[in-house]
Amino acid sequence: MAGRRTSALAGTLVALVVGTSALLAPPASAHDRGGHRLDPDRFAQQVTTRGVWRHLQELQRIADRHDGNRAALTDGYEASARYVERTLQRAGYRTHRDPFTFGLEVVDAASLTLEPGGTYEVDQMQYAPNSPDGGVRARAAVPVDPTGCTPEAWGDVATVGAIAVVSRGSCPFAQKAVTAQAAGAVGLVVYNNVEEMLFGTLGEEGLVQIPVAGMGMADGLAVVAAVTEGDVMLTLDTRFHEEERTSFNVLAETRTGRDDNVVMLGAHLDGVEEGPGINDNGSGSAVLLEVAVQLAKQKKHHNTVRFAWWGAEELGLIGSTAYVDELATKPGELDRIATYLNFDMVGSPNYVVGVYDADESTYPAPVDVPEGSAQTEAVLTGYFDGIGQPWVDTEFSGRSDYQAFIVNGVPASGLFTGADDIKTDAEAALFGGTAGIRHDPNYHTADDDLSNVSRAAIGIMAPAVAYATASLAQDTSAINGVKGPGKPGHHGPGKPGKRHGHHPAGEHRTLERAS
283-294 tens-digit pLDDT: 999 999 999 999
pLDDT (mean) for 143-154: 97
Q: Which residues does 223 contact at the CB level (< 8 Å), separation at least 6?
A: 112, 114, 117, 120, 140, 165, 189, 191, 232, 234
The predicted structure's pLDDT at residue 485:
76
Q: Are residues 189 and 285 in the same domain?
A: no
User: In percent, how much of the chain has pLDDT > 90?
Assistant: 83
Model confidence at 194, pLDDT cuts 50, 70, 90, reads confident
Q: Do 303 and 169 sit in the same domain of this protein?
A: no
CATH number of residue 50's parent domain = 3.40.630.10
Return d(Cα 474, Cα 482) in angstroms, integer: 10
Largest CA distance in the chain: 81
Residue 36 banded pLDDT, cuts 50, 70, 90: low
d(C-alpha 314, C-alpha 343), whole Å: 14
Using the 3D structure, point to which of 201, 231, 261 is the last residue of a domain.
Answer: 231
Q: Can you give the pLDDT at residue 22?
A: 40
pLDDT(239) > 70: yes
Range 452-474 average pLDDT: 98
- Is residue 476 assigned to a domain? yes
Higher pLDDT: 3 or 105? It is 105
| CA-wise closest residue to 11 among 402, 275, 273 | 273
DSSP reduced 3-state for 271:
strand
**Residue 326: pLDDT over 60:** yes
Report if residue 488 sits inside a domain: no
Beta pairing partners, 241: 106
Other Cβ atoms less than 10 A from the Cβ of 155: the count is 9
| pLDDT value at residue 384 | 98
Indicate whether 131 and 267 sit together in one domain.
no
CATH number at residue 214: 3.50.30.30
Q: Please, which residues bridge with residue 337 across strands?
A: 262
Q: Do the Cβ atoms of 371 and 339 come closer than 8 Å?
A: no
Residues with Cβ within 8 Å of 481's Cβ and at least 6 positions away in sequence, in order, are: 491, 492, 493, 494, 495
Parallel, antiparallel, or unpaired: how do β-strands 119-121 and 412-416 relate?
Answer: unpaired
From residue 264, alpha-carbon distances to 55, 261, 463, 471, 476 in Å are 21, 10, 17, 13, 12
| Number of folded domains that form the chain | 2
* CA–CA separation, 105 and 11 (whole Å): 5
Question: Is the same domain home to 258 and 330?
Answer: yes
Average of pLDDT values for 41-56?
Answer: 98
> Has residue 508 got a pLDDT over 90?
no
Contact 257, 473 (CB under 8 A): yes
pLDDT greater than 90 at residue 495: no
Average pLDDT over residues 481-495: 55
Q: Is residue 55 helix, strand or coil?
A: helix
Asked if residues 269 and 250 have their Cβ atoms less than 8 Å apart, the reply is yes
Pair (40, 170) in one structural domain? no
Confidence label for 307 from pLDDT (cuts 50, 70 and 90): very high
**Burial class for 193, CB neighbours closer than 10 Å (0-12, 13-18, 19+):** middle
> Does residue 231 register a pLDDT over 90?
no
Give me the active site residues, please.
313
**Are 402 and 424 found together in one domain?**
yes
Name the region of 261 (left: φ>0; alpha: ψ -120 to 50; beta: rest): beta
Q: Are residues 375 and 413 in the same domain?
A: yes
Q: Are residues 214 and 123 in the same domain?
A: yes
Closest CA to 264 of 404, 153, 157, 364: 404
* pLDDT tens track for 346-382: 999 999 999 999 999 999 998 899 999 999 999 999 9
Instruction: State what percent of residues in the chain have pLDDT above 70.
Output: 88
Within a domain: 499:
no
Instruction: With beta carbons less than 8 A apart as the criterion, state whether 350 and 433 touch.
Output: yes
Give which of 287, 198, 313, 278 is closest to 447, Cα–Cα: 278
Kind and range of the H or E element at 284?
helix 284-295
**AA letter at 209:** Q
Mean pLDDT across the stretch 157-182? 97
503 falls within a domain: no
| 257 and 375, same domain (yes or no) | yes
447 domain-assigned: yes
- Same structural domain for residues 53 and 179? no
434 and 363: one domain? yes
pLDDT in tens, 50-89: 999 999 999 999 999 999 999 999 999 999 999 999 999 9
Q: Out of 166, 197, 231, pick the residue that ends a domain.
A: 231
Mean pLDDT (whole number) for 444-464: 98
Whether the per-residue pLDDT at 314 is higher than 90: the answer is yes
Residues 419-441 have pLDDT tens digits of: 999 999 999 999 999 999 999 99
- Are residue 206 and residue 335 in the same domain, yes or no? no
Q: Is residue 515 part of a domain?
A: no
pLDDT at residue 5 tops 90: no
Nearest to 211 by CA among 235, 246, 245, 228: 235
User: Can you state the percent helix, strand and coil of the chain, rounding each to 5?
Assistant: 30, 25, 45
Q: Tell me, yes or no, whether 511 lies in a domain.
A: no
Nearest to 60 by CA among 249, 277, 287, 308: 277
Measured in residues, the chain has a length of 515
Which of the four pLDDT bands, split at 50, 70 and 90, describes residue 398? Answer: confident
Would you state the pLDDT for residue 250? 98
**What residue numbers bound the domain in which 83 lies?**
13-103+244-480
The terminus-to-terminus CA distance of the chain in angstroms comes to 19
Identify the domain boundary among 166, 198, 231.
Answer: 231
- What pLDDT score does 16 carry? 40
Answer whether residue 364 is part of any domain.
yes
Asked whether 219 and 121 are in contact (CB, 8 A), the reply is yes
